[in-house]
Amino acid sequence: MVVYDLIIIGGGPAGITAGIYAARQKLNTLLITKSFGGQIARKAVGIENYPGFEEISGLDLIKKFEKHLRRASARSDGHKIDIERDGVRKVKKIGEKFLVQTTGKNTFEAKAVIIASGADPRPLEVPGEKKFIGKGVSYCTTCDGPLFANKKVAVVGGGNAGFEAAIFLAKFAKKIYILEYSEKISADVENQERVKKTGKIEVIINVQPKEVKGEKFVNSLVYLNGKTEKEVNLAVEGVFIEIGTQPATSFVKGLVDFNEKDEIKVNPWTSQTSCPGLFAAGDADEVPYKQIVIAAGEGAKAAISAYEYLQKF
């Protein structure tokens, strides 16, 4: 069995940058990811804060990142990066070797591992939510928004992500409700003004979602008005959930130290976790600011650290 120098888990900005650096250092590397892009692929509006690109769609930026990775791999003199399209179920360490088991039940071995698995959308955790995934419930506005032409939809979450999702949906849907749990809208002023301008987005506060209902497809969202304590049955055919993310780190539980948010603890200078040879970068670790360019920088750090660690073998 091939023992890789390095396995990178994740195909977002941190994982891809780690891959570019690993290829240039001529490490035998495997990158495991279900798809490229991470959270960028779900971004509903253009990206304006990754230096070098004044304005670019998430999809276009990720295409450029992926192309860069493939080119670095092609130029690495036979140490090219293998790519496995899968999720990860478990990472174990046996002696000095890491075993990475994928969802598809393959096992890969490496001397070092970088976790750049980012974060997944946080679910509402109400009845009906799981049942209607792909049948009206969505965590990805850019993926599913166009399917809701001339329909009524709800966006759960009154932060910037929720407002940006609603602005994107306004191109397709007939009517959009933004539902916010608290009394206060946290989206920034610019997004609030853009929502107003569409003329078809209604913002409702004090919303405690209770259930997603439907038959074959979603037909309503039931919520409690936290102020009046009345139950409301909101007729919508789509429910977009934009209430934040949670780190996708369950597959290393028990192997490394976490903080209280389930983020992996690291030495911020070297990306080293509590487990020697295991590094973490991007939104899966405890970096307080979740930004594309910060995640990319962390990916570079982790790859350089992994390279230094591998010199001892």
Interacting positions 44-63 with a copy of itself (CB under 8 A):
48-54, 61
Name the residue among 61, 52, 1, 12 with its Cα closest to residue 36: 12
CA dist., res. 75 & res. 81, Å (int) = 10
Residue 287 beta carbon to a copy of itself: minimum distance, rounded to whole angstroms: 7
Taking CB under 8 A as the rule, does residue 65 contact a copy of itself? yes
Number of other CB atoms surrounding residue 56 within 10 Å: 17
Tokens of 194: 């853009």
Residue 52 beta carbon to a copy of itself: minimum distance, rounded to whole angstroms: 5
- Contacting a copy of itself (CB under 8 A), which of 9, 72, 124, 178? 72
Q: b/e per residue, 180-202, with b = 16+ CB within 10 A?
A: bbeeebebeeebeebbeeeeebe
- Looking at residue 24, its amino acid is R
Taking CB under 8 A as the rule, does residue 296 contact a copy of itself? yes
Lookup result for tokens 């329909």:
151
- Looking at residue 181, its amino acid is Y
Binding mask 23-42 for a copy of itself (x = CB under 8 A): -x------------------
Taking CB under 8 A as the rule, does residue 64 contact a copy of itself? yes
Largest CA distance in the chain: 67
Interacting positions 231-290 with a copy of itself (CB under 8 A):
268-270, 286-289
Taking CB under 8 A as the rule, does residue 293 contact a copy of itself? yes
Within 13 Å, how many C-alpha atoms sit on residue 96's CB side?
Answer: 8
Lookup result for tokens 């130029």:
75
Residue 304 beta carbon to a copy of itself: minimum distance, rounded to whole angstroms: 5
CA dist., res. 84 & res. 30, Å (int) = 7
Question: Could you tell me how many residues of this chain bind a copy of itself (CB under 8 A)?
Answer: 37
- Contacting a copy of itself (CB under 8 A), which of 133, 204, 205, 294? 294
Contacts to a copy of itself by CB under 8 A? 13, 16-17, 20-21, 24, 48-54, 61, 64-65, 67-68, 71-72, 268-270, 286-289, 291, 293-298, 300-301, 304
